[in-house]
Chain A
């Protein structure tokens, strides 16, 4: 493996920066996959942004495009079959999609790191965890093997793996699920990035271990003042850690809101449906609310609003016109900062 960047340039100041550009901003991102059966439009115009120290939760079902967006940000999308026909991904104001591979590599891992869902299949089974953790330092900072190993031990201690010194030479299968996920977190943290993308970091874990891992992630985020994009489908986890939420459906963001607002007053029928389908105590013995139908096939997304075949409020306009993500306001017209809804009838949904 080559050393990418021996003379690493001095890291940019952690917050703010010379220009007041956002830490990360995704603008009108489109991703499509060309398959034998046609073009699958996985992401259709996504906009979101994250600042330092902020947690953005991207909520959605499988196939909603939440992971594909993350992969596009990291630049690990398989291209082909994937293709980004339009859009921008700005890291501190620079468009990463127009950068050279060399420049991008300097950002990936060092500035933006990713935590994957399934730690067992994301770690290399034939290399010790110490080697895999140290690789970051060897490649990006040109440290020697010995130094890298010391750094690896330090990292393992930071994510609270007991007896780190003895376990640095162990292989991934020798760790439990929770410990493996900690190693994934350690790996993402290695170079103290500004932004971490966590793709379903706790889905494969038990609840008690999930609580440990989410706690650790939160603690480290505060310590390093990192931005965090948390991708999940668990409404509980989101309520616990997120600052703001973007709800995705069929490759579009259908609603954005600060966390407290979203749970209190959803402004999109899909979000409302998701919240209503959580079993609640007073509904015991009654039928659960269920969103009818199935998530759409990405090869043939319904015309108009993609949610219209499943929506209880759908009318003719929903079948013909794609609703834009518009700012949501209070009934008297006063603004609700950070809120947006892509529904023709958001007023009725939030106030009705």
Chain B
């Protein structure tokens, strides 16, 4: 990503290149202006529509031919509102990390759109894409491998300024980096240390500081605390909540720990095999799930309360997640679902408020992609 953006920078420096694409440049300026405009709190800042990402599977050494595709993300739609936290949960292989990479424009989508303030980032390039990337940043899962061991903390956090020099002029970069270290709760004097001199929690703070460097509007967190010790997780979660209030950030929070997602999220989306199974506010999803997969997922989470062993029904799913290269027809969950009927194998359920709950103001009336959506009593996670 860094290299890509650097070539963008050199394009700006040589004016004859911009002249060649002068027609596009007008659009680009308009796009950049739109991207830099502020968004009111509570307005959608990111709108994802029918996003698809298929990774081709090819065979043969000399004559490569495509024999199929891994349907990592297969038609996902959701909105992210300014200032909110959207949690995305699901098992490994359900496509949640691919969604994150698509939102960052690190991966080109097969089809579908991601609108950032009305601009489709899957079609942007050049200056406009660079402006978007400044506003959408990412915090990675593994703080041990996402920091370059040969760079000092100051260089790591300051690297975004090389690509976007307008944020911090050369002279006061060091001061800016020290300020960032202070914001994430690290000693500003550590600026010349290397990543290996820090613990896991501290490294994740460095990753967060790097994400904050360019004053972004959206931070995409891909499993930000799952590599950390239990006692340190809470510290990092608290820091992230504090920063959200301070800098008015919107988070897409991807994780598999359902109780942490509930704590931090305003809305939660549940993914299964590249599709969104259910989406709603945290109370709707956790207390009134209507999709069988969400119900199974919630009941599978071990509750830190020994009394819970005896009460409530526990759903244990049989088998594993099917391969995304060859997903089941119709509803993707039907091979593991206890409610599956013929209709499920022929008709793909759409993500919508189920018919039976339409118009009612019960919390079960939220979007759920199941033909037979209904509430069920389960032992809830994090309750």
Task: Given A207-B256, A211-B300, A288-B234, check contact A263 B199 (CB 8 Å).
Answer: no
For this complex, 11 residue pairs linking A to B, each with C-beta atoms less than 8 Å apart, are: A207-B91, A207-B258, A212-B318, A214-B302, A239-B305, A239-B308, A240-B302, A260-B307, A277-B233, A281-B383, A292-B235
Is B300 in contact with A260, judged by CB distance below 8 angstroms?
no
Is A294 in contact with B199, judged by CB distance below 8 angstroms?
yes
- A266 and B381 CA atoms in complex are apart in Å by 21
- Within 8 Å CB of B314, what residues of A? 211
Is B320 in contact with A239, judged by CB distance below 8 angstroms?
no
Is B241 in contact with A290, judged by CB distance below 8 angstroms?
no
Query: CB of A106 within 8 A of chain B?
Result: no
- Within 8 Å CB of B282, what residues of A? 284
Query: CB of B260 within 8 A of chain A?
Result: yes
Is B304 in contact with A277, judged by CB distance below 8 angstroms?
no
- A179 and B296 CA atoms in complex are apart in Å by 19
Is A207 in contact with B300, judged by CB distance below 8 angstroms?
yes
- A61 and B233 CA atoms in complex are apart in Å by 11
- Within 8 Å CB of A206, what residues of B? 91-92, 256, 321
Query: CB of B171 within 8 A of chain A?
Result: no
Residue of chain B at shortest CB distance from A211: B300
CB contact list, B232-290 vs A, under 8 A: 232-235, 237-238, 241-242, 256, 258-260, 262-263, 282
Query: CB of B317 within 8 A of chain A?
Result: yes
Residue of chain A at shortest CB distance from B239: A290
- A290 and B236 CA atoms in complex are apart in Å by 9
Query: CB of A236 within 8 A of chain B?
Result: yes
Residue of chain B at shortest CB distance from A61: B229
- A105 and B256 CA atoms in complex are apart in Å by 40
For residue A121, give the distance in angstroms from its CB to the closest CB of chain B. Answer: 17
Tell which of A176, A209, A211, A277 touches B231, judged by Cβ atoms closer than 8 Å.
Answer: A277
CB contact list, B290-304 vs A, under 8 A: 296-297, 300-304
Q: What are the 9 tightest A-B residue pairs by CB atom distance, in nearest-first order?
A: A236-B302, A279-B263, A290-B234, A277-B234, A211-B300, A206-B91, A235-B304, A291-B231, A288-B234
- Within 8 Å CB of A349, what residues of B? none
CB contact list, B26-69 vs A, under 8 A: none
- Within 8 Å CB of B232, what residues of A? 290, 294
- A287 and B236 CA atoms in complex are apart in Å by 11
The tally of residues in B whose CB lies under 8 Å from a CB in A reads: 43
- A178 and B301 CA atoms in complex are apart in Å by 16
- Within 8 Å CB of A128, what residues of B? none
- A295 and B302 CA atoms in complex are apart in Å by 25
For residue B308, give the distance in angstroms from its CB to the closest CB of chain A. Answer: 7
For residue B380, give the distance in angstroms from its CB to the closest CB of chain A. Answer: 9
Tell which of B91, B201, B260, B316 touches A212, judged by Cβ atoms closer than 8 Å.
Answer: B316
Chain B 71-104 interface mask (CB, 8 Å, partner A; 1/0): 0000000000000000000011000000000000
- Within 8 Å CB of A215, what residues of B? 316
- Within 8 Å CB of B256, what residues of A? 206-207
Task: Given A279-B262, A281-B383, check contact A208 B303 (CB 8 Å).
Answer: no
- Within 8 Å CB of A141, what residues of B? none
Query: CB of B131 within 8 A of chain A?
Result: no
Query: CB of A325 within 8 A of chain B?
Result: no
Is B260 in contact with A279, judged by CB distance below 8 angstroms?
yes
- A283 and B229 CA atoms in complex are apart in Å by 21
Is B234 in contact with A176, judged by CB distance below 8 angstroms?
no
- Within 8 Å CB of A237, what residues of B? 302
Which among B241, B305, B308 has the greatest number of chain A C-beta atoms within 10 A? Answer: B305
